[in-house]
Amino acid sequence: MAATSRLNVGCVADDFTGATDVAGIFAKSGMKTTVMIGAPPDRQDVDADAIVVALKTRTIEPAEAVRQSLHAFDWLRRRGALRFYFKYCSTFDSTGRRGEVAGNQSTRYRQRDCTWGSMGHRTDLRGADLACAEVRKFWRQRLLHRRLEQNLMAATPSEETKTRDQIARAGKSIFERGLTFGSTGNISVKLSDGRMLMTPTNASLGNLDPARLSLFSAEGAHVEGDKPTKEAFLHQCMYCARPHGRAVVHLHSTYSVAVSILKGVDENDVLPPLTAYYVMRVGRLPLVRYFRPGDPKLAQAVQEAATDTNAVLMANHGPVIAGNSLEEAQYATEELEETAKLFLMLHGRELRPLTPEQKNDLLNGI
């Protein structure tokens, strides 16, 4: 079979998100680019300047990951590609697969008239800094054309990639400041196309892997990533009640949970307006009676309670808060926890909360 004469660049990615990110960079460079899902059949030809093969090799056995990756690279080579890239994410790299694929592939193609490089995704570096470092390395090795280098330098990560990193950073911040512990709590963000990213089950917010977050379709079906938390329905119900919300944070934060256990609180608005910032960031806090975690009735109760407020406190469980951004939801959750702490510190003493007029003045100014 004759090779496709115009093909110049071939890339294999270890997941679909990475594949589309790279394909966007190639396309922005003016290259006719095709993304193929899975290793293509040997008889298939594609008319393109660049081909990106999207595999799903992050979580399979290393030997099989290497086999599938090398098969895809060989297919690209037979199509005439002379420049190769391997796009891997942090999960793939941490399990050793990246090193095995890169070692096998670079050895194989350095014996031929081709060039080879890899593109990593790491959350411990700022995206732009990492991209520039990768570009400089590739340019020194003569792996990039100047036009492609310029476009890589200017490229920005996709919304999904940025959101994954944002969730990981927020989780780490929340965990390190003692607002959650173990594998408790979860975070979600709704993307502009209606899909939703959420922290998975049995995952510590302090050690989230962006590549393994649970991804839901716009219709609410789990389509990618690790198994979702059993509390996913809480997030989905909050988005139903707050259609303009873009993020939801649910924690088992100590002082908020303590307040949810107290007898005699106002179930329509659990905490008094102790500070201006509590009023502006949380507002009203209704209490939802106790249901077993995972009970569908809890979802219905939360949705009904959240129709006119962004924050709900579940009895003997914890808060769930929606925001127009992840930052807004996180800050509101933290403000609630500090106010709950103040309330418990002052419990049994005569309080001087904000007056109804002062509270309304703050709410009207938001």
Nearest to 101 by CA among 37, 143, 145, 55: 55
Give the pLDDT confidence score for residue 339 in this predicted structure: 97
State residue 55 phi and psi, 5-degree precision: -100, 180
The pairing of beta strand 115-120 with beta strand 186-190: unpaired
Identify the segments of the chain with pLDDT beneath 50. 1-5, 90-99, 103, 105-107, 109-116, 120-145, 147, 149, 152-154
Give the pLDDT confidence score for residue 42 in this predicted structure: 65
Give the pLDDT confidence score for residue 130 in this predicted structure: 40
Give the pLDDT confidence score for residue 141 in this predicted structure: 46
Give the pLDDT confidence score for residue 131 in this predicted structure: 40
Contact (CB, 8 A) for 19 and 34: no
User: What is the number of other CB atoms lying within 10 angstroms of the CB of residue 191?
Assistant: 16
Cα–Cα dist 318/283, whole Å: 17
Q: Sign of dihedral through CA atoms 270, 272, 278, 281? A: positive
Give the pLDDT confidence score for residue 63 in this predicted structure: 79
Alpha helices by DSSP H, listed for the chain, are 16-28, 62-78, 90-94, 97-109, 127-140, 146-154, 159-176, 232-241, 254-261, 276-281, 296-305, 326-345, 356-365
Q: Read off the pTM.
A: 0.63
Cα–Cα dist 7/40, whole Å: 15
Measured N-to-C along each axis, helices 16-28 and 159-176 cross at an angle, to the nearest 10 degrees, of 130
Give the pLDDT confidence score for residue 86 in this predicted structure: 82
Nearest to 314 by CA among 299, 325, 324: 299
First-residue to last-residue Cα distance in the chain: 67
Residues in contact with 71: Cβ distance below 8 Å, sequence separation at least 6, in sequence order: 39
Note the pLDDT tens digit of each residue in 218-240: 999 999 889 999 899 999 999 99
Catalytic residues: 231, 277
CA–CA distance from 6 to each of 45, 79, 362 (Å)? 11, 9, 64
What SS3 state is found at 9?
strand
Cα–Cα dist 260/28, whole Å: 52
Amino acid letter, residue 69: S
Amino acid letter, residue 172: K
Give the pLDDT confidence score for residue 157 in this predicted structure: 64
Q: Which residue has the tokens 């393994």?
A: 212
Contact (CB, 8 A) for 339 and 273: no
The pairing of beta strand 83-88 with beta strand 115-120: parallel
State residue 288 phi and psi, 5-degree precision: -100, 130
Nearest to 177 by CA among 122, 255, 125, 260: 255
State residue 4 phi and psi, 5-degree precision: -70, 115
